[in-house]
Structure 1
Amino acid sequence: MNTTDMKTSDTHIGSRPRRSLLKVAGVGALIAAAAGTPVFAQSNAQADRSEALRLTLDWDKVFPKSDKVDHRKITFTNRYGITLAADVYVPKNTRGRQAAIAVGGPFGAVKEQSSGLYAQALAERGFVTLAFDPSYTGESGGQPRNVASPDINTEDFSAAVDALGMLPEVDRERIGILGICGWGGMALNAAAVDKRVKAIATSTMYDMTRVMSKGYNDSVTLEQRTQSLEALGRQRWRDAEQGAPAYGPPMNTLKGGEAQFLVDYHDYYKTPRGFHPRSVNSNGSWTITTPLSFMNMRLLTYIREIAPRPILFVHGERAHSRYFSETAHAAAAQPKELLIIPGANHVDLYDRADVIPFDRLAEFFDRHLAGT
């Protein structure tokens, strides 16, 4: 057990009351407030919204701890009042305020898996990094457990930017984000609306709204989509009657005859290579109705508005999901880069240190978060 981790594991950022919550009606008043136009403020101060989370103090990552960085745990609260748990990695002997990167993903994973590996590797290369558990998963708060939302999970990324910008080691004008797998789409969506983010990278990116609403390679017909929505509607009745959501079958179990990419997922999440007990993909399942909000929203609608901030898309040559990065890259405005890793499949970019282009990612962020 690391004693430094013990001393800092309960650090909470952003738990102080927000004094100027708006009590106004209409989008116009909200926009006016954001622009600095005076509005009526709520008279009573908001109470502390942070949830009491139980954080593991032992090093329980699926990757070894680096002796080149310092590590501590923090918690912070997103805009919806959900308290998130995160690991912060800081290069040893850091002085002054540094460039920083928030890291999230894959979809259904926890910070002890791929996002933590990426965060630690980038901290070894000079960045302050933060890997977080999304709302409703891992050590983060939110009820019910194991549910996802394109809106709330996009907000989680912006809340991670909030948290980074509050750290004494971080220059809040030099913050980037990196999304892995399904969190690649969340990162792009967050960057489109959050202009504080100065550079964006994705690795083995999934657009979760596209795959849930249209299936792989956009193969789902309107009739099939309608049938799925009707089934989800019936499930809502059952959940309402029970007073709690029902969950699907355990994730990434194999019965034989599955496509290779499903075998690859099993090889990561269900074996010692990447298994973690708090991971939905390793040891749980999503609520059956989780797809509903993803089927009615498009994450990448405003991808062109990320410009002029740069995007780096990284994907494996043999990944079943490669088309997500290729079409997103085509839709994005310059400056943008698409880096295809020869011979790599989707899951290779989760944890294969000899395959993941950490130096290339570090060079990208170093160049675009250099400051003045």
Structure 2
Amino acid sequence: MTVFTQKLATAIPAMLLCASLSGVTNMSYADTTNPNAPVSLLEKWDKTFPESTKVDHRKVTFQNRYGITLVGDLYIPKNRGERKLAAIAVSGPFGAVKEQSSGLYAQTLAEQGFVTLAFDPSYTGESGGSPRNVASPDINTEDFSAAVDFLGLQKEVDRNRIGLLGICGWGGMALNDAAMDTRVKAVATSVMYDMSRAMGHGVGDGKDRYSTKDRRAVLQYLNAQRWKDAENGTYAPGGHDINVDEKGNVSASDRVLPETLPANPHPVLKEFFDYYRMPRGFHARSVNSTGAWNATMPLSFMNMPLLSYANEVTIPTLIVTGEKAHSRYFAEDAFKAIGSKEKELVIVPGANHVDLYDNVAGKIPFEKFEQFFKANLR
């Protein structure tokens, strides 16, 4: 597979829109009313990708610094002997679960010789936290550091050789964590989103969509929803892409993706629908596959910029995106902001955003990720 590679400060114009092991008994979710509740899991293969015969797999649980129990899939190469291996924590996309794209990346990298951990973020999937279906730039960044905690305690892992890989919205979380957690030795992203920018300024056609006036209207809309939630004693569902028309009217869907595609759908909507809502990538625990975030979830990101300290990311950094990805401008701008002298931007020819979720046949540059982590987790 051919890739376009861009090193250091060279720029390409933006293009398009957009720890302990648990007991093994029966399957259940983390207790949604008690983030410290124990989790009981079944060792059952329920992924959207085939199980590899080259790695050992087990379900694990660990806690983040806020006491929320996280659930992950640990992948370990077979026939590894007694040597300690480099390890990689993997999460994303935003609204996905570990049985989807992050698990595919983790299992493939384990085949290449790494110990890997794909995990569900707080408040989603099998992980704990209440209320459900919320996200936070702070807590979700902490989730990555909690994964580093867990990996560093495993007998198979050399704790001085741990890296991060964030997909889609978790690319921004990974870079944010890399700026803070000095234990991380290398960081990579795939079709990354900066979720603070996406929710606070709107995903546009290669640039931010909201004007200052639009942004204010979105904040008013979200805070009005807070009153409704407080009055009702519950959290209304909603999507995180909020629209503002030319008259300043604000609207949002009541779920992430529609039940069926509308006639002549936007190409980006179709990309996501064809993955999350179709057998290709559907998973019942994925917010994007089956439901909605809490409608007020974007508030956490509106004035909390994830990449404020990107210039303090000084470790080796690999940023991968698609030539036709609507998110490409997020990756290119993050690449410019990263302070590392060892950074690389890879543009995958012909690939759109969702191609890099699961399109192994010529799109996901697993060889590039392998080379990057082997070179920098030595």
If the length of structure 2 is used for normalisation, what is the TM-score?
0.84
2:179 corresponds in structure 1 to 192
Spell out, residue by residue over 1:52-75, the C-alpha distance to the aligned partner (whole angstroms, 9 max, x if none): 224343100000000000000110
1:222 aligns with 2:212: yes
Pairing of 1:110-121 with structure 2 (within 5 A)? 110-121=97-108
Contact 2:43 2:58 in 1 (8 A): no
1:250 aligns with 2:255: yes
Q: What percent of counterpart residues are identical?
A: 62
Root mean square deviation, CA, Å: 1.3
Runs of at least 4 residues off by over 4 Å: none
Distance in 2 (alpha carbons) for counterparts of 1:284 and 1:213: 22
Letter in 1 for 2:120: D
2:330 corresponds in structure 1 to 324
Cα gap change, 1:144 to 1:187, in 2 (>3 Å): same
Letter in 1 for 2:98: K
Spell out, residue by residue over 1:267-301, the C-alpha distance to the aligned partner (whole angstroms, 9 max, x if none): 00000000000000001100000000100110001
Pairing of 1:201-240 with structure 2 (within 5 A)? 201-216=188-203, 217-240=207-230
Distance in 2 (alpha carbons) for counterparts of 1:258 and 1:55: 39
Shift of residue 10, structure 1, vs aligned partner: 2.9
Q: Kindly tell me the number of residue pairs found equivalent between the two proteins.
A: 326
Correspondence for 2:113 among 126, 129, 139: 126
SS at match of 1:84: strand
Shift of residue 359, structure 1, vs aligned partner: 1.1
2:303 corresponds in structure 1 to 296
Pairing of 1:5-84 with structure 2 (within 5 A)? 9-10=22-23, 50-84=36-70
Shift of residue 245, structure 1, vs aligned partner: 1.0
1:103 aligns with 2:93: no
Moved more, 231-240 or 338-347: 231-240
Letter in 1 for 2:255: P
SS at match of 2:155: coil
Moved more, 51-60 or 256-265: 51-60
Cα gap change, 1:159 to 1:229, in 2 (>3 Å): same
Distance in 2 (alpha carbons) for counterparts of 1:55 and 1:234: 39
If the length of structure 1 is used for normalisation, what is the TM-score?
0.86
Shift of residue 255, structure 1, vs aligned partner: 2.3
Distance in 2 (alpha carbons) for counterparts of 1:76 and 1:108: 20
1:367 aligns with 2:353: no
Distance in 1 (alpha carbons) for counterparts of 2:35 and 2:323: 45
Shift of residue 50, structure 1, vs aligned partner: 3.5
Gaps of 5+ in 1: 1-7, 12-47
Pairing of 1:125-144 with structure 2 (within 5 A)? 125-144=112-131
1:38 corresponds in structure 2 to none
Moved more, 217-226 or 282-291: 217-226
Cα gap change, 1:138 to 1:56, in 2 (>3 Å): farther
Pairing of 1:138-177 with structure 2 (within 5 A)? 138-177=125-164
Contact 2:124 2:287 in 1 (8 A): yes
Moved more, 166-175 or 56-65: 56-65
Moved more, 54-63 or 338-347: 54-63
Gaps of 5+ in 2: 1-20, 25-33, 239-253
Distance in 1 (alpha carbons) for counterparts of 2:37 and 2:183: 26
SS at match of 1:120: helix
Contact 2:257 2:291 in 1 (8 A): no
2:16 corresponds in structure 1 to none
SS at match of 2:373: helix
Shift of residue 219, structure 1, vs aligned partner: 1.8
2:15 corresponds in structure 1 to none
Contact 2:35 2:128 in 1 (8 A): no
Indicate the structure with greater helix content: 1
Distance in 2 (alpha carbons) for counterparts of 1:315 and 1:330: 14
2:267 corresponds in structure 1 to 260
Distance in 1 (alpha carbons) for counterparts of 2:264 and 2:39: 41
SS at match of 1:168: coil
